[in-house]
Amino acid sequence: MTNGRWTDGNTIELLENGEMFYPRVLADIERAREQVLIETFIWYDDDIGYQLHRAVIDAAKRGVHVDITVDGFGSGKLPASFVQALTDAGVNLHVYDPRGSVLGFQTNLFRRLHRKFTLIDCAVGYIGGINFSMEHVREHGPKSKQDYAVRVTGPVVDEMHGFCRKQVGAINTPERRPWLRRLRWYRPNPLKPARDAQAALVWRDNAEDDQSIEQWYYQGISEAKREIIIANAYFFPGYRFLRALRLAAERGVRVCLILQGEPDKFYVRHAAATLHDYLLNANIEIHEYMDRPLHAKVAIIDDDWATVGSSNLDPFSLALNLEANLFIRDQAFTTLLRDRLVALMDTACRRVRREQVPRQRGWRQIVRVLVFHILRRFPAWAQLIPGHIKPIQPSGQDRLVPHSDKRPT
């Protein structure tokens, strides 16, 4: 299994928000015959969470092998009865770094399991930024999140399946049956899937592949000829990334950033705002999404390059968390995702203009430089905190521990 290996002949379906994502993934779990593998940062005990809860319990009772890995911080408040029902049904629940608090401070804030995978029968895969909670559906209210995921069939599912199995050490899970490769469950959907697409699974860890996703972005940006659109919830990359965007703009490439205008965290807008002066001076467009919190981690470049995944473009995702993105070379899919992002810019975004951003001189410039360097060095400081000795453990040996009342994203 190679990080970033291109595979041909995939079918990739864009899913926008929970209204599209949850019915598809739950229906596929209901059809599962052999195996369900799930990795997620957040799983809440709300309506969506209980729909998944029932689906995996029913699957386990049918004899399907179910492995679910959740993050000990993001999913740390699941009640004991919720977890017990899973284990009683035969669901294998794994917890990434289930540590408690010291003097009221959560010690497992950093290097989180932030990936979002669902694999069914080694034939269907899901990857993106959508967790299992009501926060991703409009019914949740004005704080519901705008986000994306993809449903995939084809050879890249083998890569996703092998990767997820390796993470949990699932040596006793059933091997793939050859005939399952040909299964393609499908329901009519308003967004037409792209067929015969090239796709590569790229993951980031804290070992040999700590810069892999960032490097794939660099390559795409450096080869851009016409247009770059990046929609990212938490945008605070390093200087090298910003310089790559500036150089693209200087080549005549239209560079558009869709960022949070109604952020779900108080520091998000302030951190991104420290970059506005630099970006606007480079003729890079900034569009702030105003409808609700933006949770997207997607991008398109020119006519046939796209990515959808879990990785933000901030110090947490680029230097600390465990992340995974799917990179796609397909004109039909790229066009579809571009159309959705352009519609977002046209109908729900406010463009930041040069005259709206004060020139950063004197103390403003000093503060901007100070904030930038503090945030960029934050991952190195966080690395001083003791690492995960045994990060993924069965829930039967380690309980899910509560974290602060403010739920993460």
For residues 194 and 216, membership in a common domain is answered with: no
For residues 174 and 286, membership in a common domain is answered with: no
For residues 81 and 216, membership in a common domain is answered with: no
pLDDT digits (tens, 9 = 90+) for 168-208: 774 344 444 433 333 333 233 345 576 789 999 999 998 88
pLDDT digits (tens, 9 = 90+) for 345-378: 999 999 999 777 666 555 666 666 676 666 666 6
Report whether pLDDT(61) > 70.
Answer: yes
For residues 134 and 244, membership in a common domain is answered with: no
Q: Which residues does the annotation mark as catalytic?
A: 114, 116, 121, 295, 297, 302
pLDDT digits (tens, 9 = 90+) for 246-281: 999 999 999 999 999 887 666 666 777 778 888 999
**Contact call for residues 157 and 149 (beta carbons, < 8 A):** no
Tell me which of 172, 199, 226 is where a domain ends: 199
For residues 148 and 245, membership in a common domain is answered with: no
* Over residues 309-323, mean pLDDT: 93
User: What is the band of 409 on the pLDDT scale with cuts at 50, 70, 90?
Assistant: low
Which residue, chain included where needed, has tokens 């993934």?
25
346, with CB counted inside 10 A (0-12, 13-18, 19+), is: exposed
Q: How many CA atoms lie within 13 A of 375 on its CB side?
A: 25
**pTM for the full predicted model:** 0.86
Task: Tell me whether residue 293 is in a domain.
Answer: yes
Average pLDDT, the chain: 85
For residues 170 and 267, membership in a common domain is answered with: no
Tell me which of 199, 232, 262 is where a domain ends: 199
Nearest 5°: phi and psi at 105?
A: -105, 125
Predicted local confidence at residue 395, as pLDDT:
56
Task: Tell me whether residue 392 is in a domain.
Answer: no
Predicted local confidence at residue 181, as pLDDT:
33
With CA atoms as reference, report the closest residue to 215 among 240, 249, 232, 235: 240
**Contact call for residues 100 and 125 (beta carbons, < 8 A):** no
Task: Tell me whether residue 204 is in a domain.
Answer: no
Q: Please count the structural domains in the chain.
A: 2
For residues 101 and 234, membership in a common domain is answered with: no
For residues 309 and 332, membership in a common domain is answered with: yes
For residues 30 and 72, membership in a common domain is answered with: yes
Cα 388 to the center of its chain, rounded Å: 21
Share of the chain above pLDDT 90, in %: 64
What's the chain look like in SS3?
Answer: CCCCCCEEEEEEEEEEHHHHHHHHHHHHHHCCCCEEEEEECCECCCHHHHHHHHHHHHHHHCCCEEEEEEECCCCCCCCHHHHHHHHHHCCEEEEECCCCEECCEECCCCCCECCCEEEECCCEEEEECCCECHHHCHHHCCCCCECEEEEEECCHHHHHHHHHHHHHCCCCCCCCCHHHHHCCCCCCCCCCCEEEEEEEEEEECCCCCCCHHHHHHHHHHHHCCCEEEEEECCECCCHHHHHHHHHHHHCCCEEEEEEECCCCCHHHHHHHHHHHHHHHHCCCEEEEECCCCECCEEEEECCCEEEEECCCECHHHHHCCEEEEEEEECHHHHHHHHHHHHHHHHHHEEEECHHHCCCCCCHHHHHHHHHHHHHHHHHHHHCCCCCCCCCEEECCCCCCCCCCCCCCC
Task: Tell me whether residue 384 is in a domain.
Answer: no
Predicted local confidence at residue 189, as pLDDT:
37
Number of Cβ within 10 Å of residue 57's Cβ equals 17
Which residue, chain included where needed, has tokens 């949770």?
295
For residues 44 and 180, membership in a common domain is answered with: yes
**Contact call for residues 254 and 228 (beta carbons, < 8 A):** yes
Task: Tell me whether residue 331 is in a domain.
Answer: yes
Task: Tell me whether residue 280 is in a domain.
Answer: yes
Distance CA 406, CA 408 (A): 7
* Over residues 330-351, mean pLDDT: 97
With CA atoms as reference, report the closest residue to 2 among 173, 200, 196, 167: 200
Tell me which of 176, 199, 222 is where a domain ends: 199
* Over residues 212-238, mean pLDDT: 95
Q: Supply the CATH number for residue 98's domain.
A: 3.30.870.10
Task: Tell me whether residue 168 is in a domain.
Answer: yes
For residues 163 and 220, membership in a common domain is answered with: no
Predicted local confidence at residue 111, as pLDDT:
82
With CA atoms as reference, report the closest residue to 233 among 303, 192, 289: 289
Degrees, nearest 5: CA angle 130-217-4: 80
Task: Tell me whether residue 355 is in a domain.
Answer: yes
Domain of 187 in residue numbering reads as 7-199
For residues 177 and 232, membership in a common domain is answered with: no
